[in-house]
Structure formats: structure tokens, C-alpha cells
Amino acid sequence: MPLLRSVRGLFKRPTTQNWSGLIHAYGRWLPVSERTPVVSLCEGATPLVPAPALSQRLGRGIQVHLKVDGHNPTGSFKDRGMTMAVSKAKEAGAEAVICASTGNTSAAAAAYARRGGMRAFVLIPDGYVAQGKLAQALLYGAEVLAVRGNFDRALTIVREMADQYPITLVNSLNPFRLQGQKTAAFEVVDELGCAPDWLCIPMGNAGNISAYWMGFKEYHQAGHCRNLPRMMGFQAAGSAPLVNGSTVEQPDTIATAIRIGNPANREKALKVREESGGGFAAVTDEEILDAYRFLGREEGVFCEPASAASVAGLLKRADEVPAGSKVVCVLTGNGLKDPNTAIDHSGGAFHGDLNPDLETVAKVMGF
Ligand code: F0G
């Protein structure tokens, strides 16, 4: 059956054959040894999806790909960092981990900690975490502490907790987090065969942009790519301390994942911008929602609002992208995490309360 065999071959993604997580795949680039007890949910190897509609919208031969990191086990890029942070915590004999989170870190910390037989404590800003993320933290068995205050306040508390009590901090201040997250840059290069010209990415605490840059630089140094990307970081206009150059006391945006006024990795991010010749810009909630809907309708890709900031930013700065460039937009989290925003802002056609008969249905359909 040669035809069947060749079709089967077509549907197989070579990079996921025997894939058992990014520590196994990229271990030689990571601070792990045979003694490290690897806590993994087979994270990584997420798809780099071509974005034909977006490429066409930009024109001038610009090719856009989407790094869909919402395909990770808990639905966000945080799993890349958490497999490392939790494995190293376990290696050090930790019994519990703690983080502050706008939602995704808490979901990942909960899943990996429990998988590794540890307790997980997560502090979240009460009322500002998308429903799916809260559901995950609870289901994975974390202790969820919702504080009256924003993410920045919660991070201050967990830093003090980790200083004073025997509990491991797994926010991106934990250096193993960024080590794990840098593997996304390796995957982009492995798949594209080069680094992109532009890498567009949303920024909150600016851990991920720093991790990507570390990954690109390491691969470049080892001769795996000849070029390095310009790192383009985007923040929501109401929470844009890195763009404004000063802390935002009351951050505000519909993209709750990046509702952060005092980024923990501020210095690192500024260095990334300088070294890469990149740029930071703010995008409004309206621009974020436009990009979010565009990705859903035109590309068939459902990401969360914070992730769409990378595409909103690209569209905003489109005039500066040189003709023929390769661009990668990082989609950091899965759209299903935030069903309420999708339902409220999809602009989709919902016809409710219909009589259950053919005539009614046909009429609504325009026949
Ligand atoms: N996109 C999503 C979906 C996020 O959840 C986050 C951060 C970011 C982008 C920004 O990444 O902080 O490395 O610049 N979420 C954290 C959390 C703060 O608690 O889940 P960053």
C-alpha cells in the first residue's frame, strides 16, 4: 500500500517522533545532569504555523509564522519554564513551590508541582484571572490564594515568602524558568532553518522575551543560525511600563495575562532591546481585540488576548518590516483559557432561543 504509506508520512511531524519533553530533547543546552529527576508532561515541540492571511495583509513578500505555544500541556509557554524549575526544585529536595500569577504560571506550577509530588501555592489577583486558568489551578490541586491587589503586589509577597520560608519560588525570577523557555527559540530555528528577521512577542514580566533572546544567541554562537532577530516586544497600553519607562501603579487591560505594572525582568528586557536592535511598543485593547479576532477568523487560530498583542504590535509597526522578511509572532497562550473574553468580543453570529424546527433554522440561515 505505497499510497497509504506516503500519506501517513505526510501527516507525521518529524520533530514529535519519540518526543518526550524539552529537557530530553535539548538537555545538552540546559543545566541538568543524570541526577536531575525530570518532571515532564511532554511539553515543547509546539507548531510553527504559517499565517497566510496575515502575510497577505502585510504584503511586500513578508512571511509570517505563528509559534503556537498554547499547544503546550497546560495551554501556555509557561510549561517550558516549569518543567525546568520544578525538576530542579525536586533535585534540590523541595517539597513545595510558590508563585504569583496572572493565571498561566499558576496553572503550569500547579500541574508540574503535583506531577513531581510537591505542593503548589499560587497567589493571584482576585477577580483578574481568566476563568480557564483558575479552573486549571484548582483542578491540578494547587492551594489558590486570591489577594485584593494586583500581580505586582502578589509577586512582592511571594518573594518574601520564599526568602523567609522553605518554599521554592517558580516565577521567572527563578533562573531555571528562563532556561526552559529559551528552547522555544531553538524550535523556531530548527523549524525555519534560520532565525526570523523579526520576533514579535507580548511582554508582561518580560521573562519570555529574555529567554527567547538567550536561546537565539546560544544557537547563533553554536553556528545553528547565521542571523539574529530584532526582538519586538509589545505591551498593552494600560500596562506598558517598559514602553513608558516607568512603573504603572494601576495597570489595566483586557489582556489580564499581561496586566503587570512593575516587570520583574525589566533590566534584562532593556538589554534585549539594545542588543538585538529591537523595539517596544504599546497596543490598545481595541488593537489587541482586532488582532485576536483576525487570528480566529482568518487564520483559524484561537489564542488568548495577551498573545494577540504580538500580532497587534506587528500590524502597528508593519511599515517598518523590510520587504521579504521572515517574521515570527509568539502566541503564548491558548484561547480556551479565557472563554468569557471570546464570547463577549468575538463579534460572532449567535442566534439564540430558536424554535426547534426546520423552517426556523432555514430562515435564520437565509434560505
Ligand atoms: N502571554 C501570556 C499568555 C502570559 O500568561 C504572560 C505572562 C505573558 C504573555 C508575558 O510573559 O511575563 O514572560 O513577559 N503571564 C504570567 C503569569 C505573568 O503569571 O502567567 P512574560
Give the bridge partners for 16, in sequence order. Answer: none
| Ligand 1, atom nearest to 100 Cα | 19
Q: Whose CA is nearest to atom 3 of ligand 1?
A: 333
Distance CA 79, CA 266 (A): 22
According to the model, what pLDDT value does residue 15 have?
Answer: 56
| 28 CB-near residues (< 8 Å, 6+ apart) | none
Q: How far is the CA of 352 from the centre of ligand 1 (A)?
A: 35
> Of the residues 258, 280, 302, 336, which should be mutated to test ligand 1's pocket, given the most ligand atoms within 8 Å of the CB?
258
Sheet holding 63-68, edge to edge: 48-50, 63-68, 326-331, 198-202, 230-236, 279-283
Residue recorded with cell 509572532: 329
Among 11-25, 51-65, 282-296, 315-329, whose mean pLDDT is lowest? 11-25
Q: How far is the CA of 363 from the centre of ligand 1 (A)?
A: 45
This prediction has a pTM of 0.95
Query: 123-173, pLDDT tens digit by residue?
Result: 999 999 999 999 999 999 999 999 999 999 999 999 999 999 999 999 999
Give Cα 90 distance to the centre of its chain.
Answer: 24
| CB-based pocket (< 6 A), ligand 1 | 76, 78, 101-105, 172, 202-208, 257-258, 304, 306-307, 332-333
Q: Whose CA is nearest to atom 15 of ligand 1?
A: 257
Question: Residue 209 carries which side chain, given as an amino acid letter?
Answer: I
Distance CA 321, CA 283 (A): 17
Three-state DSSP at 338 gives coil
Q: How far is the CA of 243 from the centre of ligand 1 (A)?
A: 16
> Of the residues 98, 332, 338, which should be mutated to test ligand 1's pocket, given the most ligand atoms within 8 Å of the CB?
332
User: Higher pLDDT residue, 3 or 213?
Assistant: 213
Does residue 4 register a pLDDT over 50? no
Q: How far is the CA of 166 from the centre of ligand 1 (A)?
A: 25
| β 63-68/48-50 pair status | antiparallel
Q: How far is the CA of 8 from the centre of ligand 1 (A)?
A: 37
Q: Which of 206, 195, 198, 193 is nearest to 155 (CA)?
A: 206
Question: Residue 280 carries which side chain, given as an amino acid letter?
Answer: F
Does residue 7 register a pLDDT over 80? no
Half-sphere exposure of 185 (CA within 13 A, CB side): 33
Gyration radius (Cα) of the chain, Å: 21
The DSSP element (H or E) to which 15 belongs, if any, is none
Q: How far is CA 259 from CA 126, 129, 204, 239, in A?
A: 13, 10, 7, 6
Q: How far is the CA of 67 from the centre of ligand 1 (A)?
A: 15
Q: How far is the CA of 52 from the centre of ligand 1 (A)?
A: 26
Query: 199-212, pLDDT tens digit by residue?
Result: 999 999 999 999 99
Does residue 17 register a pLDDT over 80? no
Distance CA 70, CA 119 (A): 24
Percent of the chain scoring above 90 in pLDDT = 95
